[in-house]
């Protein structure tokens, strides 16, 4: 029996298991150690879950926040769909966002990875035609792109990035990041406060097999 159009996806494998499988299918790589495959144009497809609250206070008609970023395996369609609505709070699924990695954005990925808390950046704005809805403008992993969108007066929220995706992003950044000195910089998900305070030019180079 098919699910109603506004029903959430049926529960299945854990998000971590789905991510591992999804990344392997999307990029044809093993997250363990296949760095050579990162020379391809890595891309994953995701969907965003937004929460909307009606009349949250005396000054606002609507309040929005990002709840979750989930893998989009092509079963959600192309348009936003309502997952839940109790009259006060509703949740909406926005599908079809491609997250591609680009070599010229590697500094932004590096800043994200070395922040101590790597995150998704989800940018959005209120829909011009209907303030009760939002338009999600991008999903990114680049700190610098998030800053550009804030400068353009979009709203940017962040959510923790899953460990499998941290590794996916780290491998790509290690392979392609060229700091100003021309040396590669090893992007690590977690550094001590002392290490994070070091200038980028002093950061260690990437480990090589056999080092």
pTM above 0.95, yes or no: no
Rounded Cα distance, 161 and 186, in Å: 18
State the pLDDT at residue 22. Answer: 52
Report pLDDT for 25.
54
Helix axes 163-176, 106-113, angle to 10 degrees: 140
Cβ atoms of residues 99 and 58 within 8 Å: no
* pLDDT tens for the 211 residues of the chain, in order: 444 444 444 334 444 455 555 555 544 433 333 333 444 679 999 999 999 999 999 999 999 999 999 999 888 999 999 999 999 999 999 999 999 999 999 999 999 999 999 999 999 999 999 999 999 999 999 999 999 999 999 999 999 999 999 999 999 999 999 887 655 555 444 444 555 555 544 444 444 434 4
DSSP states along the chain = -PPPTTSPPPP-S-HHHHHHHHHHHHH---TTT--GGGGS--EEEEEEEEEEEES-SSS-SEEEEEEEEEE--S-S-SS-EEEEE-SSEEEEEEEEEEEE--GGGHHHHHHHHTTSS-EEEEEEEE-SS-TTSEEEEEEE--HHHHHHHHHTT-EEEEEEPPHHHHHHHHHHHHHH---TTS------S---HHHHTS-GGGSPPPP-TT-
């Amino acid at each position: 029996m098919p699910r109603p159009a506004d029903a959430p996806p049926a529960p299945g494998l854990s998000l971590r298991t789905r991510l591992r499988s999804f990344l392997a299918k999307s990029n044809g790589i093993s997250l363990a150690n296949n760095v050579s495959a990162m020379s391809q144009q890595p891309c994953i497809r995701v969907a965003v879950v937004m929460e909307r609250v009606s009349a949250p206070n005396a000054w606002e008609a609507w309040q929005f926040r990002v709840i979750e970023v989930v893998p989009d395996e092509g079963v959600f369609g192309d348009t936003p769909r309502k997952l839940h609505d109790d009259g006060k709070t509703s949740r909406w699924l926005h599908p079809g966002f491609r997250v591609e990695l680009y070599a010229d954005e590697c500094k932004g990925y590096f800043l994200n990875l070395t922040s101590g808390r790597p995150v998704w950046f989800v940018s959005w704005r209120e829909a011009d035609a209907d303030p009760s809805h939002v338009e999600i403008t991008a999903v990114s992993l680049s700190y610098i792109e998030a800053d550009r969108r804030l400068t353009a007066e979009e709203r940017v929220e962040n959510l923790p990035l899953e460990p499998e995706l941290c590794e996916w992003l780290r491998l790509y950044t290690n392979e392609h990041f060229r700091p100003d000195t021309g040396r590669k910089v090893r992007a690590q998900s977690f550094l001590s406060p002392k290490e994070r305070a070091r200038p980028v030019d002093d950061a260690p180079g990437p480990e090589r097999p056999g080092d």
